[in-house]
Amino acid sequence: MPKNCLKKFIPNPEKLKQSKALNLLGSQIYEANLWHLNRKSVARAFFNGLFWAFIPMPFQMLASALLAIPLRANIPLSIALVWITNPLTMPFVFYFNYKVGSLILDTHHEKNFHLSVEWIWDKMEHIWVPLYVGSITSGLVAGAISYAVISILWRLHVIKRWKERKLRNSIDKK
């Protein structure tokens, strides 16, 4: 199970309490769900992390980590999922977001699209509204779908384990 593999990367609660930087965020930062892997915290982390991955802004990881606290989502997983949009995937994801926003707002698409920083800065006053509308929409949809899929898959896995345990126990009694 991936949960067992990921446990070695999750910080120890005692080490967290010794961190002076985390003390600035208050005692809520030490809540168990923020650091442990369970169905609810993982599903919330997927929603949170994927939402912020689709938003074009600096410091996505910080935004994801800060929103994970009130959502009671797993912080390390929330931060890691933001990296779905990395320098290699960012242009494609944000172009998709722009297309979605243009479709929602029923605006024209930029016909002479060039994948360059200069072109984007030159056209930013025309593309920022469809880009952000599409980004928020795509982020919410991706987050909601991932939340549902993680919840369902986790539940199915638990049911499967219960059935296996029940079968083992019935065989052992014979």
Counting other chains too, the contacts that 24-28 makes at CB distance below 8 Å and 24 or more residues apart are 25/69, 28/69
Give me the pLDDT at residue 34, please: 78
| Average per-residue pLDDT for the chain | 82
Residues in the chain, how many? 174
Give the pLDDT band of residue 54 (cuts 50, 70, 90).
very high
* Contact by Cβ (8 Å): 130, 105: yes
Q: What is the pLDDT of residues 23-50, one digit of tens each?
A: 555 556 667 677 778 889 999 999 999 9
Report pLDDT digits (tens) over 141-161.
999 999 999 999 999 999 999
* Cα–Cα distance for residue pair 119/111, rounded to 1 Å: 12
**Is the pLDDT confidence value at 6 over 90?**
no
Q: Supply the Cα-derived Rg of the chain in whole angstroms.
A: 21
Spatial separation of the C-alpha atoms in residues 44 and 65, rounded to whole Å: 12
User: Could you give the number of structural domains in the chain?
Assistant: 1
CA-wise closest residue to 147 among 70, 73, 59, 65: 73
What is the tens place of the pLDDT at every residue in 61-114?
A: 999 999 999 898 998 999 999 999 988 888 889 889 988 998 999 887 666 766
Domain that holds residue 135: 2-173
